[in-house]
A and B are shown apart, each in its own frame.
Chain A
């Protein structure tokens, strides 16, 4: 019995290492310089956006450095012009990998401006 338990425990511990979730592979429309280093963006983008959204809506600050539309303009995928769609899309890919709910796009347009203007 003890041996079986040990085996089970070993299997449970060993499994995740063997079947690790693959890192998202993302191709964006306009690669280049972001507004802050990658590490800072990964850790703090949500706080930047949360802070700026109030300034934009309530104070009318339209030309701030932090802007969700600016994020989308650069980070939208080359294929569908959006940050959503599949695992290869910038926002969705990483949020799926990190298992974090993404609800910006319940209201915000996920497509880059030029793509969004062309309606089918």
Chain B
């Protein structure tokens, strides 16, 4: 700024040029995203808030005793039992069997990270390692996770695990290691390739077809249509975390 409160001509020119460049990039709207995509060699778009990945689980089709989803999860993410301390085993997806004591009705369902729209694990993380992608997938950035486990305590779904032992047999696409907290990633490495999470694929392959994966924000997607037409609920909806995983028949 010059003394009279006006930007000096040199600075004004620079500002003007900057504004013009910004207008060029932003004016066509989608241009900005295309540019970002082009950075990633053009064939694959970055995570965007135009999408929200979610799961719909039909508990009436989820078979008691079937653990196809949990085993597929362990295979895909190379989750192996730890060194003889079962309580410390990492658990990204677990099968839960429920029984209503009054009616005797039995129910089976997979429970994992619910990929909340307002995730408490992200709120409490002191380093910013616990984070949410633009498309709603909640992840742990192990590069900056210090292993304090606040997020494990904050999660009402007990979805997160801490890795106690050194690991060596990781899937190259799923880095994980000692001293970090981790949870279901919705198989983000597969989702980014346009595939479905491993649990959903395994459930369909086993004939259960209890799980539907898709974009909750795309009205044409199967999951959005189902969510709009059948009764489904979020676990602990009273907490108003808006989970992206919904259950039918609970």
Contact = CB atoms under 8 A, between A and B. Distances in A.
* Interface residue tally on A, bucketed by range: 20 to 34
B131 A58 contact: yes
Contact of B41 (A54, A57, A64, A112): A64
Grouping DSSP codes into helix (H, G, I), strand (E, B) and loop, the B interface class, with mixed when no group exceeds half, is loop
Contact of B169 (A64, A107, A119): A119
Contacts of A112: 172
A108 interface: yes
Contacts of A116: 169-172
B46 A57 contact: no
B143 interface: yes
A39 interface: no
Contacts, number: 68
Interface string B44-60: 10110000000000000
B40 A64 contact: yes
Interface residues of B, number: 33
Interface in A89-120: 106-109, 111-113, 116, 119
Given A57-B143, A62-B192, A72-B172, A107 B177 contact: yes
B9 interface: no
B155 interface: no
Interface in B164-196: 166-167, 169-173, 175-180, 188-189, 192-193
A84 to B, nearest CB: 10
A58 B44 contact: no
A60 interface: yes
A80 interface: no
A69 B175 CA distance: 10
Interface stretch (B21-29, B113-121, B133-141, B214-222): B133-141
A63 B40 contact: yes
A68 B25 CA distance: 31
B41 A109 contact: no
A18 B180 CA distance: 45
Given A63-B41, A108-B170, A57 B139 contact: yes
Interface of B: 36, 39-41, 43-44, 46-47, 131, 133-135, 139, 141-143, 166-167, 169-173, 175-180, 188-189, 192-193
16 contacts: A53-B143, A57-B139, A58-B133, A59-B47, A59-B134, A60-B133, A61-B39, A61-B44, A62-B193, A64-B39, A106-B166, A106-B177, A106-B179, A107-B175, A109-B170, A119-B169
User: Closest 6 A-B residue pairs measured CB to CB?
Assistant: A107-B177, A60-B47, A109-B172, A107-B175, A109-B170, A108-B175
